[in-house]
Amino acid sequence: MNASQKKALGILGGIVVVLAVLLIVVISINKRHDAAAAEAASSAADAVTDSGVSYKALTYTNSTATLSFAVDENGEWYWADDPEFPLNSDYITKILNTITGLTPHQTITDGDTLDAYGLSEPAETLTATAEDGSTTTFALGDAVVGDSGSYYMMMNDDEATVYVITDSLYTELATGIYEMMTLPTLPVLTEDRLSSITVTGAVETMATAIVAESGDAASSADTSADSTPSVSWRSEGANVTDYMADLVSAVSAPTLAKCEDYKPTGAAAALCGFDAPAAVLTVNYLTDTGKDATYTLSIGGTTTDGSSRYVRLDGDTTIYSMPSDALATILSVAASGLQA
């Protein structure tokens, strides 16, 4: 064999090696694809609810209440007991996502009595009604001992089959209706958009903002056109600017914590301190478009846990709460005035 033949044979051998390596890679990729497909098929087979079903109504019961929800003609979810309730439908969406294509991580078909799983008297139940009128029921029992974050579940009253699922559904069904409310949002204001602040309590204090124009002597020298204008405050003719920082901060970005009572009775409102509020805050301000606007916040008594105060917005009978710390300055001014 001459040198030329040896060289050709070497090249051919190299090509064979490369082809062999490529063949091994292709076989490996195909095996991985086959394994993934098999795993996906297995997961789909283990699902106990249809992943393509659409629901039109839900009713669930937890330790404190039974709540029902339905879809209106516009496809929006509402609380069946009061369609006017400002429902945050994200909570319903979470439940729907959990029960659609639900896949338990264990199925028990030859187990103990329902009592052993807490399913003879379920902690929570859910009935989901599909668009075609068919219903699926879910009953949740005890937490699984030794499997943190898991609960026993029974479907459609089938006592012969018990499932073990994650705690997602249990947590979602524990949600109360007030937690599902879309809370009103109050304006976030910079000081130069405040016109006046009035706090009424044991004493009444009204402070009016004086916003310096860009050409005023009161303005800082060489102030750029887009800087925040200088603001001073007057109350009964006196300059109270030095006492206003904390109060301005308290009213500039108020945030409601949660709903405490929706459409309360007069007796409930009185119990929360609104027959004689500790303070009434009225804020006059300019909107983003420069229009005059007002919000009023009435502050009642302390909540049962002691961390918050009951509050009401002007024109809204709903009782909300806000952290006491956020209201401390307003309450101080209501009791003693600005210079307390």
Domain map (residue ranges) of the chain: 55-180, 191-213+228-336
Q: Which amino acid is at 329?
A: T
Q: What is the pTM of this model?
A: 0.78
List phi, psi (to 5°) of 165: -125, 165
Q: What number is the average pLDDT over the span 9-21?
A: 53
Torsion of the alpha carbons at 184, 190, 196 and 198, rounded to the nearest 10: 50
CATH number among 3.40.50, 2.10.260, 2.60.40, 3.40.720, domain 191-213+228-336: 2.60.40
Residues 6+ apart with CB under 8 A from 184: 256, 313, 316
* Residue that wins the pLDDT comparison between 3 and 102: 102
What is the per-residue pLDDT for 31? Answer: 47
221-255 per-position pLDDT tens digit? 444 445 678 999 999 999 999 999 999 999 999 99
What is the per-residue pLDDT for 176? Answer: 97
What is the per-residue pLDDT for 248? Answer: 97
d(CA 63, CA 24) in angstroms, rounded, equals 59
Contact between 48 and 162 under an 8 Å Cβ cutoff? The reply is no
Is the torsion defined by CA of 159, 50, 100, 70 positive or negative?
negative
Contact between 87 and 182 under an 8 Å Cβ cutoff? The reply is yes
- Tell me: pLDDT of 63 over 90: yes
Q: Which helix (H) or strand (E) holds 197?
A: strand 194-200
What is the per-residue pLDDT for 44? Answer: 38
* Residue that wins the pLDDT comparison between 200 and 23: 200
Q: What number is the average pLDDT over the span 148-158?
A: 95
- Tell me: pLDDT of 2 over 70: no
